[in-house]
């Protein structure tokens, strides 16, 4: 006789790591409504709602604006495998884990990779990109991460699309940790392929990857000399499923996740993008004021720090993992550690979407104070929270 596992009962956590973020009860309710078939006319109408709302959040008029069935990494792969063919030169601005992944995908596509490397936590200067475009011409694709989750750095995108087009290149932008939390301006940037994920500032469970392609990018997809190396992520085929009036079967969409994304986008647009951006800025500023009293400095370059993902250097002499583990198990709060060369050196505190709230800022500051004091650090309890409240009052 089979042994039955017990009923699912996961512990309650406050999710303040690099993702996923907290999810509204409204989104969870949307996921629980009855399923429809993925070609049911009622479900196709729901897909239309998702596309319309994604265009508003992406700030684009691109007809090809969809949700890829997969996490943000599927969005990354879809953007690159559709635009990079064997022998194409692709310039990737590498300054963290996720831009490193972009470079890996380019090589797997058979592209000629040009890595423009910058120290982790810093951003890539526009003049360096222009110089690399000239030196390596012709370049088919330039790929950058707008919000580098591994470092907390926010790459300036303004002017980059225009520069790329002047050199005949397409611009690919990763907005996984920025969409819905900090300004994303697809049309204003003149970006050609922009993707994101649902589990960060959109505060939806992981499982879909919003993706928008410009008409210029679609022309490149249609003009390929070889088939896309991924059948599942072939934009030409997926476009036929999402195209109104066509809806050709490609794969079975994750119905409940589409419901969830529709509701999470409703919440984003109800709040208003500008109000949402200001909320993320306000809570990030308060958090950074609080952690400064604990001896933590920001990892990202001054003037280019993300409001949605706060990457902070661990105080000198502190072993970060035990503190992070205690904050999780004793305080019920998840924060993230460092990746790659930043492993053991930073904490990553996400204030994304539903997680970006004053009570959460004060809770994580109190938890860090408590655990640092228990570890023997000279911490004055309440000082971090007081600094955060001072920032709010200001």
**What pLDDT does residue 235 have?**
94
What stretches of 40-167 show up as alpha helix (H) in DSSP?
41-58, 72-83, 97-108, 126-135, 160-166
Q: What is the DSSP letter of 226?
A: S
Nearest-angstrom CA–CA distance, 202 and 196:
10
Alpha-carbon distances, residue 225 vs 84, 107, 222 (angstroms): 11, 18, 9
Nearest-angstrom CA–CA distance, 50 and 25:
19
Nearest-angstrom CA–CA distance, 101 and 347:
21
Which residues of the chain are modeled with pLDDT < 50?
A: none
**What pLDDT does residue 241 have?**
84
Q: Write the pLDDT tens digit of every residue in 68-91.
A: 999 999 999 999 999 999 999 999
Domains and CATH numbers, the chain: 25-269 (3.40.640.10), 273-393 (3.90.1150.10)
SS3 content of the chain, % helix, strand, coil (to 5): 45, 15, 40
Question: What distance lies between CA 356 and its chain's CA centroid?
Answer: 15
**What pLDDT does residue 244 have?**
75
**What pLDDT does residue 240 have?**
83
Nearest-angstrom CA–CA distance, 2 and 337:
39
């Amino acid at each position: 006789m089979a042994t039955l596992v017990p009923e699912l009962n996961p512990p309650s956590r406050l999710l303040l790591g690099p993702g996923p973020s907290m999810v509204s009860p409204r989104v969870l309710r949307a996921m629980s409504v009855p399923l429809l078939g993925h070609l049911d006319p009622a479900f196709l109408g729901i897909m239309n709602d998702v596309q319309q709302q994604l265009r508003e959040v992406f700030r684009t008029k691109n007809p090809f604006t969809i949700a890829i069935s997969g996490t943000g990494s599927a969005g990354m792969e879809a953007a690159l495998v559709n635009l990079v063919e064997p022998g194409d030169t692709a310039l990737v601005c590498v300054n963290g884990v996720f831009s490193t992944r972009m470079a890996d995908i380019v090589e797997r596509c058979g592209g000629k990779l040009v890595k423009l490397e910058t120290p982790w936590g810093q951003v890539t200067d526009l003049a360096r990109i222009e110089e690399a475009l000239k030196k390596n011409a012709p370049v088919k694709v330039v790929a950058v991460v707008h919000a580098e989750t591994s470092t907390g750095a926010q790459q300036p995108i303004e002017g980059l699309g225009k520069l790329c087009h002047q050199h005949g290149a397409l611009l690919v932008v990763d907005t996984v940790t920025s969409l819905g939390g900090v300004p994303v301006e697809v049309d204003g940037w003149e970006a050609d392929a922009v993707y994101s994920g649902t589990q960060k500032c959109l505060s939806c469970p992981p499982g879909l990857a919003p993706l928008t392609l410009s008409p210029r990018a679609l022309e490149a997809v249609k003009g390929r000399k070889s088939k896309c190396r991924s059948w599942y992520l072939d934009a030409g085929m997926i476009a036929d499923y999402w195209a109104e009036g066509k809806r050709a079967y490609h794969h079975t969409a994750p119905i409940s996740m589409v419901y969830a994304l529709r509701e999470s986008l409703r919440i984003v647009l109800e709040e208003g993008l500008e109000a949402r951006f200001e909320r993320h800025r306000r809570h990030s500023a308060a958090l950074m004021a609080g952690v400064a009293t604990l001896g933590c400095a920001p990892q990202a370059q001054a003037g280019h720090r993300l409001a949605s993902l706060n990457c902070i250097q661990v105080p000198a002499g502190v072993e970060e993992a035990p503190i992070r583990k205690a904050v999780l198990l004793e305080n019920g709060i998840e924060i993230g550690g460092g990746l790659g060369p930043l492993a053991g050196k930073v904490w990553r505190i996400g204030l994304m979407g539903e997680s970006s709230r004053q009570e959460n800022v004060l809770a994580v500051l109190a938890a860090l104070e408590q655990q640092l004091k228990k570890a023997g650090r000279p911490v004055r309890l309440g000082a971090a929270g007081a600094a955060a409240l001072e920032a709010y009052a200001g």
